[in-house]
């Protein structure tokens, strides 16, 4: 299941929504498969003036990242766009409801081989796109069809950049397969497995590690802070992904899956085997469990703020890219905390007005660690905070340079 942290509208928009559902204005369509694709099909429809193929594909599959990635400076922006598209192709394979486990493993292996060797990309695309389920978004099919050109861009990156991306892709592919084969409505075993699941998925811990590698490769000054960033990078991804899982719990339930940790709910007397929106009169136990997970997620997002503050003030684009995600996530958590018995993601969706306020207010203080910390404290006011040793008091200090 794909969960994405975002800003636009869709199930990863208003704020957060997984990308397997329709973006506003999109229609699920299926490209006819009554003829073999020719080279033009495989390589895409070309590039519009002034916009790369990767940028066009990004707009099709994620308005969220099409909005945030351009905040990054040139040279880094193109690399992160390419990395996102590769991760999205891997997710398209894993999330397809028609392909069986063996087929998914073979497609993942072929994709990784093409990415690592630069060979076999057209064969991979020709084999995969006609097999995708009828409900697959047209933009996702186009991405798969265009994968040879996307991979060509990957192969033109510096080795330090492509190596970071390929490490992420390999970990993601293996991790997603492991969890998708255990999907059920009964949830995950415990909080440790919950965090392991979040680590494997985009935007998750493994992607945070990749971004840290790319940021450090881009800027020697950021590279000098690698130790501080690496200490917080997994938490950054976990905080965003956990927010998405909490927000999307009922959308996932409708899809026949639950990614919540059973041990947390059992502590409060709630059995996830009996999960349903009205909780059979056990809503208090469900609300207490959600509050605990909000507290765990809040703790990770505090670390994500610290990560952002360790990015030099001389890199406002990277800081914007990061702080928007953090503030949108904590704003969503606050809505969940205020309404833990919500029955639809729309009930805890961050409004367009709130998004605009976050963009404007963070822009005004983007070079100030004190200012960004104050915005976070305001957004997180009243949230529970749980770090494994019990609930902690609200944040009252400013970390960073």
Would you write out the chain's pLDDT as a tens digit for each of its 401 residues? 444 443 222 223 222 233 333 333 333 333 333 333 343 333 443 444 446 888 899 999 987 788 889 999 999 999 999 999 998 999 899 878 898 888 998 999 999 999 999 899 999 999 999 999 998 999 999 999 999 999 999 999 999 999 999 998 888 877 666 666 666 778 877 777 677 655 444 445 678 889 999 999 999 999 999 999 999 988 888 888 889 889 999 988 888 888 899 899 999 999 999 898 888 789 999 999 999 999 999 999 999 999 999 999 999 999 999 999 999 999 999 999 999 999 999 999 999 899 999 999 999 999 999 999 999 999 999 999 986 665 554 444 334 44
CA distances to 262, 311, 312, 369 from 401, in Å: 39, 8, 8, 7
Q: Tell me the C-alpha distance between 173 and 87, whole Å.
A: 9
HEC profile of 3-55: CCCCCCCCCCCCCCCCCCCCCCCCCCCCCCCCCCCCHHHHHCCCCCCCCCHHH
CATH of the domain at 314: 1.10.600.10
Whether 352 is in a domain gets the answer yes
Whether 9 is in a domain gets the answer no
Phi, psi of 10 (to 5 degrees): 135, 180
Whether 34 is in a domain gets the answer no
Whether 392 is in a domain gets the answer no
Whether 18 is in a domain gets the answer no
Show Cβ contacts of residue 107 under 8 Å, excluding neighbours closer than 6 positions. Answer: 93, 99, 124, 127, 128
Predicted model pTM: 0.81
Q: Tell me the C-alpha distance between 131 and 114, whole Å.
A: 18
Burial (CB < 10 A; 0-12, 13-18, 19+), residue 136, is buried
Whether 271 is in a domain gets the answer yes
Q: What is the dihedral of CA 159, 163, 165, 167, to 10 degrees?
A: 180
Whether 361 is in a domain gets the answer yes
- Tell me the three state secondary structure of residue 80: helix
What's residue 53's pLDDT? Answer: 84
What's residue 4's pLDDT? Answer: 46
**Structural domains counted in the chain:** 1
Which structural domain, as residue segments, surrounds residue 352? 53-379
Whether 89 is in a domain gets the answer yes
């Amino acid at each position: 299941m794909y969960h994405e942290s975002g800003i636009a509208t869709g199930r990863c928009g208003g704020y957060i929504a997984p990308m397997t559902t329709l973006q506003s204005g999109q229609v699920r369509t299926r490209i006819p498969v009554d003829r073999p694709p020719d080279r033009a099909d495989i390589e895409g429809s070309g590039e519009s003036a002034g916009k790369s193929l990767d940028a066009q594909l990004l707009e099709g599959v994620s308005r969220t990242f099409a909005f945030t990635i351009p905040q990054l400076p040139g040279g880094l922006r193109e690399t992160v766009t390419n990395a996102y598209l590769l991760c999205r192709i891997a997710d398209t394979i894993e999330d397809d409801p028609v392909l069986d486990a063996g087929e998914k493993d073979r497609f993942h292996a072929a994709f990784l081989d093409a990415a690592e060797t630069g060979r076999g990309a057209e064969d991979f695309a020709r084999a995969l796109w006609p097999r995708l389920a009828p409900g697959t978004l047209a933009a996702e099919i186009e991405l798969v069809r265009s994968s040879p050109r996307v991979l060509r861009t990957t192969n033109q990156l510096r080795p330090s950049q492509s190596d970071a991306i390929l490490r992420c892709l390999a970990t993601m592919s293996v991790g997603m397969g492991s969890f998708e084969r255990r999907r059920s409505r009964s949830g995950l075993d415990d909080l440790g497995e919950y965090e392991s699941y979040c680590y494997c998925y985009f935007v998750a811990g493994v992607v945070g590690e990749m971004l840290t590698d790319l940021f450090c490769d881009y800027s020697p000054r950021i590279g000098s802070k690698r130790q501080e960033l690496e200490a917080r990078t997994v938490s950054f991804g976990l905080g965003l992904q956990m927010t998405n899982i909490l927000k999307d719990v009922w959308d996932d339930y409708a899809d026949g899956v639950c990614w919540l940790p059973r041990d947390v709910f059992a502590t409060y007397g709630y059995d996830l085997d009996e999960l349903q929106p009205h909780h059979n009169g056990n809503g208090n136990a469900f609300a207490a469990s959600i509050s605990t997970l909000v507290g765990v997620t809040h703790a990770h997002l505090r670390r994500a703020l610290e990560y952002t503050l360790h990015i030099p003030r001389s890199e406002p684009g990277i800081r914007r890219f990061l702080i928007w995600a953090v503030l949108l996530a904590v704003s969503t958590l606050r809505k969940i905390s205020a309404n833990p018995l919500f029955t639809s993601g729309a009930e805890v969706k961050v409004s367009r007005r709130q998004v605009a306020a976050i963009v404007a207010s963070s822009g005004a203080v983007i070079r100030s660690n004190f200012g960004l910390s104050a915005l976070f404290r305001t957004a997180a006011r009243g949230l529970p905070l749980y770090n494994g040793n019990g609930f902690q008091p609200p944040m009252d200090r400013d970390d960073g340079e």
